[in-house]
């Protein structure tokens, strides 16, 4: 049963990060433009940050899909989702009219929905970490 739960979590997280990376890559110039509008990212070089974000998303998918690296993938996913949830919450509560640079349907979600969505995936990633610790 635990193996099936882990498989479902891997599929869900892999779908999320694959979808996010593809949409960011498909309209890369919009992704860069939206990142440039973030008051929390003004000090960072978007030409380094943007490919780093997409690369990290794809790395998580790769790590999750091999049993030898799955636990690391869950840890990285948990960290990324927690940081991004905090990032979105900060934008929502302290700034106004900041576009989300997620792309696709994720970028169209209202901030409160997106924050809850991210927290759910953070919990899924944490569950994956805990279940893989017991393996």
CA distances from residue 118 to 2, 53, 81, 125 in whole angstroms, order as listed: 23, 16, 6, 10
pTM greater than the 0.95 cutoff = no
Q: pLDDT (tens digit, 9 = 90+) per residue, 103-135?
A: 778 778 888 999 999 999 999 999 999 999 865
> What is the Cα–Cα distance from 23 to 36, expressed in whole angstroms?
17
- What pLDDT is recorded for position 71? 96
* DSSP assignment of 58-109: HHHHHHHTSTTTHHHHHHHHHHHHHHHHHHHHHHHHH-SSPPP---HHHHHS
Ranges of residues in the chain with a pLDDT under 70 are 134-135
- What pLDDT is recorded for position 108? 81
Report which of 45, 56, 72, 44 is spatially closest to residue 18, judged by C-alpha positions.
Answer: 56
- What pLDDT is recorded for position 135? 52
Report which of 17, 16, 52 is spatially closest to residue 32, judged by C-alpha positions.
Answer: 52
């Amino acid at each position: 049963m635990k193996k099936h739960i882990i498989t479902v979590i891997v599929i869900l997280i892999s779908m999320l990060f694959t979808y996010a990376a593809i949409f960011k890559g498909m309209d890369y110039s919009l992704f860069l433009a939206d990142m440039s509008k973030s008051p929390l990212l003004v000090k960072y070089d978007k030409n380094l940050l943007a490919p780093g974000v997409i690369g990290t998303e794809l790395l998580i998918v790769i790590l999750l899909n091999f049993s030898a690296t799955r636990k690391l993938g869950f840890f990285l996913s948990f960290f990324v989702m927690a940081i991004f949830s905090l990032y979105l919450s900060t934008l929502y509560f302290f700034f106004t009219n900041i576009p989300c640079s997620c792309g696709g349907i994720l970028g169209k979600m209202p901030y409160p929905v997106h924050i809850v969505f991210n927290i759910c995936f953070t919990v899924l990633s944490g569950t994956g970490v805990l279940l893989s610790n017991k393996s």
